[in-house]
Amino acid sequence: KAGVTQTPRYLIKTRGQQVTLSCSPISGHRSVSWYQQTPGQGLQFLFEYFSETQRNKGNFPGRFSGRQFSNSRSEMNVSTLELGDSALYLCASRDLRANTEAFFGQGTRLTVV
């Protein structure tokens, strides 16, 4: 069974640009969550999608948005990039019918210059 797949693995963007990150969950998992990891703040929750609906949202500005497709794949978009958005963005999937263990992808390393 394939794990959680995130693409791309690395991105370099310029301030003011926008970026889209992709996450394919484990087959059969309909819940996808996104987290931001920085050295100073650690891991912080962005949002969670289930069956194409955002069911939970963290404390991030509106520049951060996401969506989920009917095949459970999810995308995260960050508009008007700032230097402080440089981070490792991690996606997690889980099967809410089972024990809800969260499985993470390898992450996308975003660098804003």
Q: 11 or 103, CB closer to another protein?
A: 103
Q: 66 or 107, CB closer to another protein?
A: 107
What is the residue-wise DSSP string for 62-111? TTEEEEE-TTS-EEEEE-S--GGG-EEEEEEEE-TTTT---EE---EEEE
- Selected binder of another protein within 2, 14, 42, 83 (CB under 8 A): 42
Q: Are 90 and 107 in contact (CB under 8 A)?
A: yes
Going by the DSSP 8-state scheme, the letter that residue 19 receives in this structure is: E
Q: Tell me if 58 contacts another protein by CB under 8 A.
A: yes
- Selected binder of another protein within 25, 26, 32, 33 (CB under 8 A): 33
Going by the DSSP 8-state scheme, the letter that residue 3 receives in this structure is: -
Which one of 12-20, 21-29, 52-60, 75-83 is the stretch in contact with another protein (CB under 8 A)?
Answer: 52-60
Shortest spacing between CB 16 and another protein, in angstroms: 26
Q: Tell me if 25 contacts another protein by CB under 8 A.
A: no
